[in-house]
Amino acid sequence: MAIRPKKTNSRSSSENQKTPVRKRRRKKTTKNSNFKKSIFIVLGVFMMISMVSFGYFLGQNDMLNSQTPIAQTYKTHKTDSRKKLLEDLSKTKTHKPQEKKELSAKEVPKAETKTSTEPLLQEIPRIKIQKNVMLTDRTTKPKLAIIIDDVSTRNQLNKIEDTGIKMTPSIFPPSKLSMTSHTLATGLKHYMIHLPMESGSAQFNTQYKTLITTFSDEEIEARVKELRKLFPTARYINNHTGSVFTDDYHAMETLYTALRKEGFMFVDSRTIGSTKVPQIAEEFGDAYVARDIFIDNEHNVPYIHRQLQKAVNMAKKKGYAIAIGHPHKMTMKALSSAAGIFQDVELVYIDELYR
């Protein structure tokens, strides 16, 4: 009798064979679903980023075109602030010099009643006008003023006069070298004072009654009054050394004010490039009078002639020039033989440049 195989076993085996196929299909479906979700998420993020970027671009464009009230307010406020600042600065610039000039004008008449130099004091406020006239006057020859510093003896003065050239001697106040040097000015029409002032050299600063920056205002003023008594007819003063003193604003302003009260005009020998005299003179409304060139830093005739030619060229360029030399033997020899160099200029005394 043949035995039939049980049906239940064949079905279960077929089911067992089909089961793995169904599982693989489900896995594929799950993967496809996850992939689609990822694409949607990426697209969503991209759209959000695009919208934010577009909004930011529009906002920036509005700011650049000043269409927003905030931008307009900022620009208006900034412009108004600048205008106000410029107005304040302009007021400050014009106010200070005017105040300084007014004080100077009040101080000068007081000095006029105390000294015997009334005509000189009346001329000082007009110095700036005279300078401008000289610079614009091209109808005459350019002018060259030569100052000879360090004069303290009659012999030096005689050698200057023997050259027959218009030169302005700058005479030392009394010192240990010559306690009567101030008497050299007696009877002279054209001369000036050569005032020792503090320099960077301790040796030079030991010279008799050298002005030092640490002096009080009263000491400086007393020295200027003493100079007026020693040289009653002097009008011009220049510094001997003085690189430290002329570079000190307070000390130089005190001296300049005192000189002005006594009817003196300061000529800056320019022994230092950072001298404060130009600034102080401008604040007082005065012309800045200063040396243009030293002619005898080397003591030989060819060098001095070259320096004199430079001085002449400067005078031809701006209408006038001021040269400074010293009473050395070679300087006097060079000046006496420089007639050809002086052909294109008019030699004048310092007070013929600024009267």
For the chain, domain boundaries: 118-352
Confidence of residue 19 (pLDDT cuts 50, 70, 90): very low
Mean pLDDT for 105-115 is 35
Q: Which residue has the tokens 């009798």?
A: 1
Mean pLDDT for 155-167 is 97
- Residue 198 sits at the vertex; the CA angle it makes with 228 and 154, to the nearest 5 degrees, is 50
Phi, psi of 266 (to 5 degrees): -90, 130
pLDDT at 55: 63
Give the up-direction half-sphere exposure of residue 236: CA atoms within 13 A in the CB hemisphere: 25
Confidence of residue 49 (pLDDT cuts 50, 70, 90): confident
What the block records as the tokens of 121 is 């004091």
pLDDT at 44: 78
Confidence of residue 45 (pLDDT cuts 50, 70, 90): confident
pLDDT at 106: 36
Task: Provide the CA 319 distance to its chain's centre, in angstroms.
Answer: 24
pLDDT: is 150 or 26 the higher one? 150
pLDDT at 93: 43
On the question of pLDDT at 92 being above 80, the answer is no
- Pairwise CA distance, residues 31 & 37, whole Å: 10
Q: Are strands 168-171 and 346-348 parallel, antiparallel or unpaired?
A: unpaired
- Pairwise CA distance, residues 263 & 121, whole Å: 5
Most distant CA atoms of the chain, gap in Å: 176
On the question of pLDDT at 28 being above 70, the answer is no
Q: Using alpha carbons only, how large is the chain's radius of gyration in Å?
A: 45
On the question of pLDDT at 212 being above 90, the answer is yes
pLDDT at 114: 34
Mean pLDDT for 100-114 is 37
Confidence of residue 339 (pLDDT cuts 50, 70, 90): very high
Confidence of residue 38 (pLDDT cuts 50, 70, 90): confident
Q: Which fold has domain 118-352?
A: TIM Barrel (3.20.20)
pLDDT at 40: 76
pLDDT at 107: 39
What the block records as the tokens of 220 is 């400086």
On the question of pLDDT at 17 being above 50, the answer is no
Q: Model pTM?
A: 0.63
Q: What is the pLDDT of residues 245-267, one digit of tens each?
A: 999 999 999 999 999 999 999 99
Phi, psi of 306 (to 5 degrees): -65, -40
Which residues are bridge partners to 144 per DSSP? 321, 347
pLDDT at 43: 79
pLDDT at 177: 84
